[in-house]
Amino acid sequence: MTEGQQRAFEALWPHYGITLDQGPLPLASHFGRQAPVTLEIGFGNGEALAQLAARHSEQDFLGVEVHSPGVGHLMLTLAAQDSQNVRILQSDAMELLRHHLPEASLQRVLLYFPDPWHKRRHHKRRIVNQEFTDLIHRALKPGGVIHMATDWEDYARQMMTLFSQHSGFRNQAGKGTFSPRPETRPMTRFEQRGERLGHGVWDLLFERLG
């Protein structure tokens, strides 16, 4: 980060940033109210999260990202649009899911364009695996939805297989079927770049059964 970015980061972090203590994250006290919470995992520069938060001031949004420049970028956007309904964690999403999210606390989870780790020997680093499906199931409220999108076909198929195998989810598009791109999913620079390169995009929406 440049010196200016560092200064902006330090000024804005107390407003938007939260840190993980021992035990469950007290979501309502961080947001100062009870409202449906959406978690975005790996928000990158935060374009999607900022757009959704601006569109839905009646909902709360929690973003988790490990990359500081992305966190800084999102905080600047949130400050510019005066969003009050977003909190940010600069942490490993798996740590959050394993140890800190209360059971049945989320209305929605967004996982847009996760790192594809396209070399076969690196597939084990992909965030979507069986443990991930179990942790998402635990964190969602019954009826809550995980929305995933990727521009890597074999990763899309892996997501489809793992979530279809889990008996606690229903594929909203029907068994084994990818969803049409929902208009509600904001376009990010990342996706635009993929489009220019001629990549396809696969959307998956799985709902937690009661």
Q: Which of 88, 114, 137, 152 binds ligand SAM (CB under 6 A)?
A: 114
**Interface positions, 128-187, toward ligand SAM (CB under 6 A):** none
**72 binds ligand SAM, rule: CB under 6 A:** no
Q: Which of 21, 60, 92, 115 is catalytic?
A: 115
CB of 54 to ligand SAM, least distance (A): 17
The yes or no reply on residue 66 touching ligand SAM (CB under 6 A) is yes
Q: Is residue 60 flagged as an active site residue?
A: no
**Does residue 113 belong to the site contacting ligand SAM (CB under 6 A)?**
yes
31 binds ligand SAM (CB under 6 A): no
Query: What is the closest distance, in whole angstroms, from the C-beta atom of residue 209 to ligand SAM in the complex?
Result: 26
203 in contact with ligand SAM (CB under 6 A): no
Secondary structure (DSSP) of the chain? --HHHHHHHHHHHHHHEE---SS---HHHHHTS---EEEEES-TT-HHHHHHHHH-TTSEEEEE-S-HHHHHHHHHHHHHTT--SEEEE-S-HHHHHHHTSPTT-EEEEEEES-----SGGGGGG-S-SHHHHHHHHHHEEEEEEEEEEES-HHHHHHHHHHHHH-TTEEETT-TT-PBP--TTS---HHHHHHHHTT---EEEEEEE--
Q: Does 65 bind ligand SAM (CB under 6 A)?
A: yes
Q: Catalytic site residues? A: 115
